[in-house]
């Protein structure tokens, strides 16, 4: 079934038939209507295609239909056709959100080009919505781990068995492999998801402060402690405490940490009372804790206490089949964040990625995906130190590069002016209509750049 879908409305049956036949020959899936009301009944926020409408119709004109479509979903592209080249009506249509305005008799090549651009904009819009929903769900206990390799499937199955197990967890994995993501997966999909997930990097806190950070401090417990400080254990009570780089914890603190894990109580510095804990502790290390214990730099009893449930994250070089999925995931997120289109990588480029060793693991791949969205394939691959296949390097011709650069300039101006159309016009020395045309061309919405209280 064609991925191109268009609903066409015109009160003249002969025009409808001609438009539909011409588009169907080009692979478009068409549905025709002689009355706008019948077309509106087919629309919803899940509609995947484009609306093509005559402007002058007896029951409801094209402008009224346009407003009705926008009330269902403001992002559905609507292209208007008219036999009268009225500039004022065309401007009004654009202001109401029409994607394009085409005069009759219709130039078939022009119509196909505009429809294809509108269809691509609709695809990207629905794709970004799906991503936003996935991100929203991940914040409400439905975080997912991306990948379908044997290593990730095995780890996912093991994690699902651990979700509500009443035990602490030890995660081991190389730098950038996703240890905090795995910890969040355990928390967000568990019965503790309604309580705090508290993360602390043990290697990033000075030794003299880590006890206060972990266990809390009573006022006047020591010089400079002028007020009470809630420790991470207490703040995470009922939820999950994630101790990243636990191998960096000083030996003196490891003694207290072991006691808290065993007794499920924490006593703030300077306090005479303890606080009962209902908590799950997830510790993570980028090195082998057992080996460190044998070397005397990590307490063996603490290692055994943490090692009841253990998760080992495979490095990215051992699950190369996950790279296309991960890259697409990160690139779509970046495209949504930076208001840019997502263009999939072709197979030769993906093969280059799968041949790379990825010493920085998933974090390194994510950085490349973001650079790809911001700079394009050629610049991103060069910065990564990868040789781009000739097929990819030539995929973006001069026109595409000019358009890419133009879009970046407009986005930068909109960001700098916080979405002000007037100030963006001044910054780029563009007439209002030209700016609106280019924003529509690149799928830019000023609301993505504006402050709520800003007006033109």
Are 292 and 332 found together in one domain? no
What is the pTM for the complete model shown? Answer: 0.59
Are 167 and 239 found together in one domain? yes
Helix (H, G, I), strand (E, B) or coil at 43: coil
Is residue 355 a contact partner of residue 395, using CB atoms and an 8 Å limit? no
Are 290 and 363 found together in one domain? no
Q: How confident is the model at residue 137 (pLDDT cuts 50, 70, 90)?
A: low
Are 266 and 156 found together in one domain? yes
Question: Whole-angstrom Cα distance, residue 100 to residue 356?
Answer: 44
Q: How confident is the model at residue 53 (pLDDT cuts 50, 70, 90)?
A: very high
| Domain presence at residue 159 | yes
- Please state, as a whole number, how many other Cβ atoms lie within 10 Å of the Cβ of residue 452: 5
Helix then strand count (H, E) for the chain reads 20, 12
Q: How confident is the model at residue 344 (pLDDT cuts 50, 70, 90)?
A: confident
169 forms beta bridges with 282, 309
Are 438 and 336 found together in one domain? no
pLDDT of 31: 94
Nearest to 159 by CA among 193, 183, 140: 183
Is residue 325 a contact partner of residue 146, using CB atoms and an 8 Å limit? yes
pLDDT digits (tens, 9 = 90+) for 431-454: 998 898 888 877 777 776 765 433
pLDDT digits (tens, 9 = 90+) for 100-135: 888 888 899 999 999 999 998 888 788 777 766 655
DSSP state of 389: P
Whether the CA torsion 205, 211, 215, 221 is positive or negative: it is negative
Q: How confident is the model at residue 398 (pLDDT cuts 50, 70, 90)?
A: low
| Domain presence at residue 323 | yes
pLDDT of 73: 93
| Domain presence at residue 303 | yes
In the predicted structure, residue 313 carries a pLDDT above the cut 60: yes
Are 255 and 160 found together in one domain? yes
Are 131 and 161 found together in one domain? no
pLDDT of 258: 95
409 or 1, greater pLDDT: 409
Question: Whole-angstrom Cα distance, residue 408 to residue 429?
Answer: 16
In the predicted structure, residue 267 carries a pLDDT above the cut 70: yes
pLDDT digits (tens, 9 = 90+) for 319-335: 999 999 899 889 888 88
Burial readout 200-221 (b: 16 or more C-beta within 10 A, e: otherwise): bebeebeeeebbbbbbbbbeeb
Are 307 and 333 found together in one domain? no
Q: How confident is the model at residue 63 (pLDDT cuts 50, 70, 90)?
A: very high
In the predicted structure, residue 224 carries a pLDDT above the cut 80: no
Burial readout 242-269 (b: 16 or more C-beta within 10 A, e: otherwise): bbbbbbbbeeebbebbbebbeeeebbbb
End-of-domain residue from the set 354, 373, 396: 396
Are 53 and 106 found together in one domain? yes
| Domain presence at residue 454 | no
Domain containing 383 — which CATH number? 1.10.8.60
Phi-psi map region of 130: left, alpha, beta (phi>0 left; psi -120 to 50 alpha): alpha
End-of-domain residue from the set 287, 314, 341: 314
Q: What long-range pairs does 139-143 form, CB within 8 A, spacing at least 24?
A: 139/188, 140/188, 140/193, 141/188, 141/189, 141/190, 141/193, 142/188, 142/189, 143/181, 143/184, 143/185, 143/188, 143/189
Structure tokens at 290: 């057992």
pLDDT of 404: 66
CA 454 to chain centre: 26
Question: Whole-angstrom Cα distance, residue 312 to residue 168?
Answer: 15
DSSP state of 100: E
| Domain presence at residue 373 | yes
**pLDDT > 70: percent of the chain:** 89
- Please state, as a whole number, how many other Cβ atoms lie within 10 Å of the Cβ of residue 170: 21
Please calculate the CA angle 198-199-202 and round it to the nearest 5 degrees.
Answer: 135
Domain containing 51 — which CATH number? 3.40.50.2300
Half-sphere CA count of 20, side-chain side, radius 13 A: 16
In the predicted structure, residue 41 carries a pLDDT above the cut 90: yes
Mean pLDDT in residue range 368-390: 85
Mean pLDDT in residue range 272-301: 94
Lowest-pLDDT range, 142-156, 291-305, 365-379?
A: 142-156
End-of-domain residue from the set 137, 159, 182: 137
| Domain presence at residue 168 | yes
Are 121 and 215 found together in one domain? no
Mean pLDDT of the chain: 86
CA 309 to chain centre: 31
| Domain presence at residue 143 | no
Could you tell me the residue range of the domain that residue 292 belongs to? 150-314
Question: Whole-angstrom Cα distance, residue 145 to residue 155?
Answer: 10
Count the domains in the chain: 4
In the predicted structure, residue 318 carries a pLDDT above the cut 90: yes
pLDDT digits (tens, 9 = 90+) for 163-218: 999 999 999 999 999 999 999 999 989 999 999 999 999 988 888 788 888 998 88
In the predicted structure, residue 362 carries a pLDDT above the cut 70: yes
| Domain presence at residue 142 | no
pLDDT of 223: 59
Are 294 and 165 found together in one domain? yes
Are 26 and 120 found together in one domain? yes
In the predicted structure, residue 272 carries a pLDDT above the cut 80: yes
DSSP state of 238: T
Adjacency order of strands within the sheet including 240-244: 197-201, 240-244, 280-285, 169-172, 309-312
pLDDT of 425: 92
pLDDT of 198: 95
386 or 179, greater pLDDT: 179
Domain containing 165 — which CATH number? 3.40.50.300
């Amino acid at each position: 079934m064609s991925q191109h879908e268009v609903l066409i409305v015109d009160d003249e049956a002969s025009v409808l038939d001609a438009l539909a036949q011409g588009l169907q020959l080009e692979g478009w899936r068409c549905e025709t209507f002689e009355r706008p009301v019948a077309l509106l009944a087919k629309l919803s926020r899940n509609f995947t295609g484009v609306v093509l409408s005559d402007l002058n119709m007896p029951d409801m004109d094209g402008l009224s239909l346009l407003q009705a479509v926008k009330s269902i979903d403001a992002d559905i592209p609507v292209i208007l056709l008219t036999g009268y080249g009225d500039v004022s009506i065309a401007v009004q249509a654009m202001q109401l959100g029409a994607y394009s305005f085409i005069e009759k008799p219709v130039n078939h090549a022009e119509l196909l080009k505009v429809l294809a651009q509108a269809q691509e904009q609709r695809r990207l819009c629905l794709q970004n919505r799906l991503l936003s929903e996935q991100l929203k769900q991940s914040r409400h206990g439905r975080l997912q781990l991306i990948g379908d390799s044997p290593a990730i499937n095995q780890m996912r199955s093991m994690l699902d068995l651990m979700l509500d197990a009443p035990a602490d967890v030890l995660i081991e994995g190389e730098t950038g492999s996703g240890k905090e993501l795995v910890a969040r997966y355990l928390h967000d999909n568990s019965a503790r998801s309604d309580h705090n997930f508290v993360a602390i990097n043990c290697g990033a806190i000075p030794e003299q402060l880590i006890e206060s950070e972990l266990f809390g401090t009573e006022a006047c417990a020591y010089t400079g402690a002028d007020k009470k400080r809630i420790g991470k254990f207490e703040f995470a009570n009922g939820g999950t405490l994630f101790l990243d780089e636990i191998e960096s914890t000083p030996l003196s603190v490891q003694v207290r940490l072991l006691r808290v894990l065993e007794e499920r109580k924490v006593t703030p510095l300077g306090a005479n009372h303890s606080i009962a804990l209902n908590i799950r502790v997830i510790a993570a290390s980028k090195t082998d804790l057992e080996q460190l214990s044998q070397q005397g730099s990590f307490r063996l009893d603490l290692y055994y206490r943490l090692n009841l449930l253990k998760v080992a994250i495979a490095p990215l070089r051992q699950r190369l089949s996950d790279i296309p999925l991960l890259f697409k995931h990160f690139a779509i997120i970046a495209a949504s964040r930076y208001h840019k289109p997502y263009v999939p990588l072709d197979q030769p480029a993906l093969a280059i990625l799968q041949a790379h060793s990825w010493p920085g693991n998933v974090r390194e791949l994510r950085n490349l995906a973001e650079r790809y969205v911001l700079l394009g394939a050629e610049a991103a691959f060069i910065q990564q130190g990868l040789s781009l296949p000739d097929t990819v390097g030539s995929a973006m011709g001069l026109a595409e590069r000019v358009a890419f650069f133009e879009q970046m300039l407009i986005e930068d101006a909109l960001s700098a002016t916080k979405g002000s159309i007037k100030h963006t016009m001044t910054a780029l020395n563009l007439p209002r209509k030209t700016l609106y045309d280019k924003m529509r061309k690149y799928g830019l919405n000023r609301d993505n750049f504006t402050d709520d209280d800003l007006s033109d």
